[in-house]
Amino acid sequence: MTAWFCVEKIFNLLNEYDVRSAGTEEGARVKVTGGHIDWADIIFVMEKKHIRRLRDKYSYESNGKKLICLDIPDDYTYMDEELIDLLKARVFEYIEIPIEF
């Protein structure tokens, strides 16, 4: 869960994107809702199980949404340097990120 709040903090630095974070786990500080799914153009998840959870619980809202699994284990601590590097590299494959970022 901490990884997703890291994502929001990192990518909110880019003015081109509006980024929100929410978790799929019961204990998530901010738990994903149908509203989050409706709002998003692209949804990035860390692991495949997160896509399954979103599709199971929000099948209507997620229909036709671009759900992308980054294949990053969701077990890093908040703002872990390795996690930040992985996130930037994997997200860069799908959206435009300035080189100096």
Joined tokens for residue 27:
């204990």
pLDDT digits (tens, 9 = 90+) for 5-26: 556 666 766 667 788 888 898 8
d(CA 37, CA 46) in angstroms, rounded, equals 16
CA distances from 65 to 33, 61, 69, 85 (A): 14, 8, 13, 26
pLDDT digits (tens, 9 = 90+) for 32-83: 999 999 999 999 999 999 999 999 999 999 999 999 999 999 888 878 889 8
Q: CA torsion sign, 64 to 67 to 68 to 71? A: negative
